[in-house]
């Protein structure tokens, strides 16, 4: 990514969040700017931090950040009841700024109220902030929906079937002894409603990514990434008469032919030689003391460019870890393989792959969300506040993506001009 683009995006989001603190020094009170988390994977961190030292840009950057909010963000605060009980002299703007200090900058409740008071945004206790966070859940959810709608992310064609998108991420609370937690959550499409949220330890039996972490109802259609490609999870979903589509991880699951022999995946894949060529094969997922689950494997060959990129990433990863790269790993990287139990009559191979492509689009936002969620103080005692926290993190992730899109437009000032703005005379 171009350094100027990242710098602009960092200034317009990281510094915009920082502006709520009246541009206090970075070292004061243990502040952790959001842009450090968002762009940690780039080589331009030093330049970003330099950009964040511009103290006199704080006020204007918060105003600029609000231009990236959904157009009706103020009205949504009222219609969702987020402002109920708030004093009339306290508006939604300072309310949201304080909340973004918490889930945007990764501050604890106590740190957040201290900074809000210092910046003269609000005088509020940690308990009162906790209650405000709970009350803001629907508001933050609606803000996420509006930004998703702006992105135009939707599956094509649409079957009319509601989906549950299953995922998990790890949160490490700040400090040298900060506890790590794994968040298991699911979002319903097209409502984007978080219908399940669970915390577990990172280590120990029963804490990993698995479909068994989720309550599953009959008839549900689930989408998950390759971390959920395990026999026990697939059997768990099937026993509850639900359907699952998951990215195939050949090293994580044993597949059998319908005759009970080992499935010859490599041999099958070699029949796909043209870019975009699609094939589907019937297989079974065995599990001890249970009947095997019939599945379909849908595969599509990548383009030469995509294959070259995948091979480069695998070689880089192997070199970094000092491990040997297996020949079959390079072959698998030439294809996208999906394992599904979706009904074949309603979901032919092309539609299964289209649904997975749609999940991959959502995953781009989830990756940004996971970067933001990785550090922070997670509310653990109340499901409502935990969901509000998740929506808040997702809102910042979507906001970041929107800022980056604007920055990539190569506007020299890094953002679009409002349609009603006119030139001002300097005479």
Q: What is the sign, positive or negative, of the torsion defined by CA atoms of 89, 90, 93, 97?
A: positive
In whole angstroms, give the CA distance from residue 380 to residue 255: 39
Q: For the whole prediction, is pTM greater than 0.75?
A: no
The yes-or-no verdict on residue 64 having pLDDT over 70 is: yes
What kind and span of H or E run contains 285?
strand 278-287
For 147-169, the pLDDT digits (tens) are 877 876 655 555 667 789 898 88
Q: What are the pLDDT digits (tens) for 184-222?
A: 888 887 777 778 878 788 888 888 889 999 999 999 999
The answer to whether 295 and 280 have CB atoms below 8 angstroms apart is no
Task: Give the list of residues 6+ apart from residue 174 with CB closer than 8 angstroms, or none.
Answer: 30, 32, 106, 108, 375, 376, 377
Query: pLDDT for 297-322, tens place per residue?
Result: 999 999 999 999 999 999 999 998 88
């Amino acid at each position: 990514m171009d350094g100027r683009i990242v710098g602009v995006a960092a200034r317009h989001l990281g510094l915009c969040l920082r502006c709520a603190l009246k541009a206090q020094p970075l070292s004061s009170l243990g502040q952790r700017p959001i842009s450090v988390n968002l762009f940690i994977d780039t080589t331009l961190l030093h330049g970003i931090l330099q950009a964040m030292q511009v103290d006199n840009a704080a006020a204007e950057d918060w105003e600029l950040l609000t231009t990236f909010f959904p157009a009706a963000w103020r009205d949504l605060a009222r219609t969702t009841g987020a402002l109920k009980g708030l004093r009339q002299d306290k508006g939604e703007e300072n309310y949201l700024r304080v909340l973004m200090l918490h889930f945007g900058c990764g501050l604890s409740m106590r740190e957040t109220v201290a900074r809000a008071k210092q910046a003269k945004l609000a005088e509020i206790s940690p308990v009162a902030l906790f209650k405000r966070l709970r009350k803001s859940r629907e508001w933050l959810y609606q803000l996420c929906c509006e930004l998703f709608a702006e992105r135009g992310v939707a599956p094509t064609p649409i079957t009319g079937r509601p989906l549950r998108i299953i995922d998990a991420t790890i949160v490490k609370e700040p400090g040298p002894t900060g506890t790590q937690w794994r968040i298991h959550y699911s979002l319903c499409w097209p409502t984007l409603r978080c219908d399940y949220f669970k915390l577990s330890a990172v280590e120990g039996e029963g804490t990993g990514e698995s479909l068994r972490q989720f309550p599953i109802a009959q008839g549900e259609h689930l989408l998950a990434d390759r971390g959920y490609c395990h026999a026990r999870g697939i059997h768990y979903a099937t026993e509850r008469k639900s359907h699952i589509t998951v990215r195939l991880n050949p090293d994580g699951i044993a597949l059998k032919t319908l005759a009970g022999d080992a499935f010859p995946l490599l041999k099958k894949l070699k029949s796909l030689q043209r870019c975009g060529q699609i094939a589907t094969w019937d297989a079974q997922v065995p599990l001890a003391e249970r009947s095997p689950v019939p599945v379909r494997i849908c595969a599509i060959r990548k383009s030469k460019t995509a294959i070259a990129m995948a091979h480069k990433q695998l070689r880089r990863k192997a070199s970094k870890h000092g491990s040997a790269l297996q020949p079959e790993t390079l072959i698998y990287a030439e294809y996208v393989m999906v394992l599904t139990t979706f009904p074949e009559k309603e979901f032919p191979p092309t539609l299964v792959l289209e649904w997975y492509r749609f999940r991959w689009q959502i995953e781009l936002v989830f990756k940004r969300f996971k970067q933001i969620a990785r550090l922070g103080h997670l509310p653990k005692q109340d499901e409502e506040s935990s969901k509000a926290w998740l929506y808040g993190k997702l809102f910042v992730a979507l906001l970041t993506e929107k800022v980056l899109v604007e920055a990539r437009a190569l506007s020299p000032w890094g953002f679009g001009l409002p349609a009603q703005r006119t030139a001002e005379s300097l005479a």
